[in-house]
Amino acid sequence: MRAPKQIAIVPCSGIGKTYGSVSREAAYITTDEIRPGDTRLVALSRLVLGDEDARGVIADCPAVTIDGCKLACATKMVQESGGTVLQDFAVLDVYRRYRQFKPQGIAELNEGGQQLARALAEEIAQAVDQAMQVDREGQNG
């Protein structure tokens, strides 16, 4: 199976919700810092509005979705847009694995929220690497 050119990262759009903020922060860390070439951020709101560019990305690239609550809007919207969900992450499940990083705050996440977002981004990066079939250790060595 050929590796995709890029992976779409689709976070929750829950404005005013701490877990939504964690999901978006994790998406920014992934797409801007740790896997900028391999990933592409897609705003959920653009998918909801039926934006052609956003739907085009979803049609071309498998997606990693990040859901802030059990409604799982990001995952459902990608599926409804005809996209493929490579892996879906729920912030709550990630928090259960990193209880020391308690997220608080909305407009500005606390230190715990920032750390949780980074831990989540690292998990997303692993999923991206698997999909891209990239041996980063080999590249770096």
Residues numbered 94 to 123 that lie near other proteins (CB under 8 A) are 95-96, 99
Residue 69 binding other proteins, by CB under 8 A:
yes
Place of tokens 């391999």: 38
Q: Which of 15, 92, 122, 136: binder of other proteins (CB under 8 A)?
A: 92
Contacts of 134-139 with C-beta under 8 Å, sequence gap 24+, read 134/3, 134/38
- Kindly write out the interface string for residues 15-54 of this chain, putting x where it contacts other proteins by CB under 8 A and - elsewhere: --xxx-----------------------------------
- For the beta sheet containing 63-67, the strands, ordered from the edge strand earlier in sequence to the opposite edge, are 39-41, 7-11, 63-67, 85-90
List interacting residues with other proteins (CB under 8 A).
Answer: 17-19, 69-70, 92, 95-96, 99
